[in-house]
Amino acid sequence: MSGDKMEVELAEQKLKTMEHSEQHYFKSYDHHGIHEEMLKDEVRTRSYMNAIVQNKHIFKDKVVLDVGCGTAILSMFAAKAGAKHVIGVDMSTIIFKAREIVKTNGLSDKITLIQGKMEEIELPFPQVDIIISEWMGYFLLYESMLDTVLYARDKYLVKDGLIFPDKATIFFAGIEDGDYKEEKIGFWDNVYGFDYTPLKETALSEPLVDTVDLKAVVTDPVPVLTLDLYTCTTADLAFNTSFTLTAKRDDFVHALVSWFDIDFTACHKPIRFSTGPHTKYTHWKQTVFYIKDVLTTQDGEEIHCKLDVKPNNKNRRDLDIEIEYNFQTSDANRVASGGSEYKMC
């Protein structure tokens, strides 16, 4: 058996010893399609390319760690920017294809790709100058690798080392989405003459990952969480906060929508990209949380919300999310309050 085949087989055997949820996560990145989708996401890939390649003065002669390197596109950007050496780490067996890609592009002397979990492998360098990673999941934190990036930061990053990107912000807004809410939630009121409302709660508890038309956004957006990757800890990935949405026109609110912005602040010219409804499509789309009530809002009125987010106890890559809303107005017929629990799994 060749060395490559033996390594692939050992990697697959190691995957089988993991919890089912971890197996599922890592094996999902074995497939060609998910990498094609990410690479074709121009907002994502071009932002990373610009942040790295346009800042050669930062990367020149540096040791760079690419956490969750996938097909090694970020590693190759870093090598192209003049890095002394790049180490890419990924648990998925896609890394064996990545090695072929790196070799095909004549970069094998500059890039070392290691298959394994970041927390279990040893790097060929005791410290690194820069960490790069595309760790974000839906709703930023669903299935995200941020805790792995933080582990790498604490173990390997030199004092005053850099992280690309280094800032992430989650936003919320209210949206009018009556037609789709009726199709998704109202459907269960009458299914071929039968009352299926017991499934209505289930439908409400599943956030929808989809693209939202900017015209549907009824309120001003509000940031609810900002993560500074230099200082945040895994404890910060469970959070609760209060926020207020202000209606910008007379309309209805059927759901809340969330997205995130990503910043590379270490760049000579700071680079940011957004996954919101106001910008170009990304594969993260937006996350929609339907609420039980229909809020009838007028321009300038406020919806007071509370948000609680934490990793699921059984599978830390899944999220348990609770949203409470309180809409008070002088018109008693329009007053509403309630809450829902959501599971991203």
Of 134, 176, 183, 341, the active-site residue reads 134
- Are the CB atoms for 274 and 259 separated by under 8 Å? yes
Q: Contacts from 26-29 at CB under 8 Å and sequence distance 24+?
A: 26/91, 26/92, 27/92, 29/70, 29/90, 29/91, 29/92, 29/94
Of 9, 119, 143, 201, the active-site residue reads 143
User: Pairing between strand 167-175 and 251-264?
Assistant: antiparallel
- Are the CB atoms for 260 and 168 separated by under 8 Å? yes
Known catalytic residue: 119?
Answer: no
Q: Angle, to 10 degrees, between the axis of helix 3-16 and the axis of helix 94-104?
A: 150
User: Pairing between strand 128-133 and 222-228?
Assistant: unpaired
Known catalytic residue: 182?
Answer: no
Q: Please report the beta strands in the chain, taking only residues with DSSP state E, as ranges in sequence order.
A: 63-67, 85-90, 111-115, 128-133, 157-164, 167-175, 208-210, 222-228, 239-246, 251-264, 271-274, 286-297, 302-311, 319-327, 336-344
Q: Which residues are catalytic?
A: 134, 143
